[in-house]
Amino acid sequence: MSGLPAFAVGLCDDAAVFPPGLTPLPEAVPAHLRHRACAYGAMVGPFVLAAPALGELGPLLGPGGLDLVVTVPGGPEQIPEVARAVEALPVNLRGLEVVVPAGAAPAEFFAALDRACAGAPRLSGVPVFVEVPRDGRRTEIVSRLAGSGRRAKFRTGGVTAELYPDEAELAAAIRAVVDAGVPFKATAGLHHAIRNTDPETGFEQHGFLNLLLAADAALGGGAESELAAILAERDGAAVAARVAALGEERVAAARSRFLSFGTCSITDPLTDLLNLGLIPDGVAGAMPGRQEGN
């Protein structure tokens, strides 16, 4: 009905207020609602906001409310404060993304997370994503997520080069969560559909379609080396052809693992998918600031 292929539905969480976009909240909220109302709106997932900014959100919302994901940079101890703030807002809370504090042992973190969630009944049933740190705690954290109903979040970039995991590291992380049956999302650095070198910064950036294909390969039993090769692939036509050939069942399975990615721009992923021939031109033609045929 939306004209979008199944792989693209709900793929992009709107993280416009985060770097490098840093769109002011009073601009980002109405822009999000406009995106959701467009023909490609089914591609756009919840609006993402950090817990400390929740107090600024209320005056910007109308009676229709907002689908919202809240990042919790302070760790589990910040969750009761989030629950109180959300209670007063006309929002549909679609997820919490909780950071594992530096130095916190996995057992300590999950005990604190259990306590915080038990003390916040308002958050019952809300998906909880744990931001998996890029250190020796990853294996135990993924193991503890398995069977818990909680999900993983991977940080795939940032404002400095060292914040980008290379393809081998990211392949190992994807292999680990798929083996454990843990759904995941990704955030930061996924500015384009295909693996690329940013011309302004020189950073090696992952492509969100590469991640989708890596999740598919992991479900098919692919080794880490195969996943790493997929993540490193820069041939847009080849990647697009593989995505287009996945078929309904494989798309559904891959998206049940790779749930979404956070992006500070909705139009950039949409434009990439249009240029790769993966979405109908008529759908993208409704993009703000774009004229048909551009």
By CB atoms closer than 10 A (0-12, 13-18, 19+), residue 35 is buried
Task: Give residue 117's pLDDT.
Answer: 94
Q: Which helix (H) or strand (E) holds 109?
A: helix 106-118
Q: Which pairs count as long-range contacts for 126-129, CB under 8 Å and 24+ apart, including other chains? A: 126/93, 126/94, 126/95, 126/96, 127/94, 127/95, 127/96, 127/151, 128/95, 128/96, 128/98, 129/95, 129/96, 129/97, 129/98, 129/153, 129/185
pLDDT surpasses 60 at 251: yes
Task: Give residue 281's pLDDT.
Answer: 82
Query: pLDDT, tens digit, for every residue of 61-98?
Result: 988 789 999 999 999 999 999 999 999 999 999 999 99
Over residues 244-268, mean pLDDT: 97
Question: Which tokens go with 33?
Answer: 């609602």
Task: Give residue 293's pLDDT.
Answer: 34
Degrees, nearest 5: CA angle 7-8-13: 125
Helix (H, G, I), strand (E, B) or coil at 71: strand
Residue indicated by tokens 């915080």 = 116
Distance CA 206, CA 225 (A): 16
Instruction: Name which of 32, 124, 197 is nearest 116 in CA terms.
Output: 124
In the DSSP assignment, the letter for residue 193 is S
Distance CA 73, CA 77 (A): 10
Ranges of each domain in the chain: 6-284
Instruction: Name which of 52, 49, 51 is nearest 28 in CA terms.
Output: 49
Average pLDDT, rounded, for the chain: 94
What lies within 8 Å, CB to CB, of 223 at 6+ separation is none
Helices (H), 146-257: 167-180, 208-219, 224-232, 236-244, 248-257
- 288: confidence class by pLDDT, cuts 50, 70, 90: low
Instruction: Name which of 212, 121, 35 is nearest 13 in CA terms.
Output: 35
Over residues 34-59, mean pLDDT: 95
Instruction: Name which of 144, 69, 88, 80 is nearest 111 in CA terms.
Output: 144
Task: Give residue 195's pLDDT.
Answer: 98
Task: Give residue 1's pLDDT.
Answer: 42
pLDDT surpasses 50 at 294: no
pLDDT surpasses 90 at 168: yes
What CATH topology corresponds to 6-284?
A: TIM Barrel (3.20.20)
Query: pLDDT, tens digit, for every residue of 193-238?
Result: 999 999 999 999 999 999 999 999 999 999 999 999 999 999 999 9
Over residues 183-194, mean pLDDT: 96
Most confident of 115-124, 206-215, 274-283, 284-293: 206-215
Task: Give residue 121's pLDDT.
Answer: 86
User: Can you say whether the dihedral through the CA atoms of 263, 14, 177, 4 is positive or negative?
Assistant: negative
Distance CA 151, CA 185 (A): 8
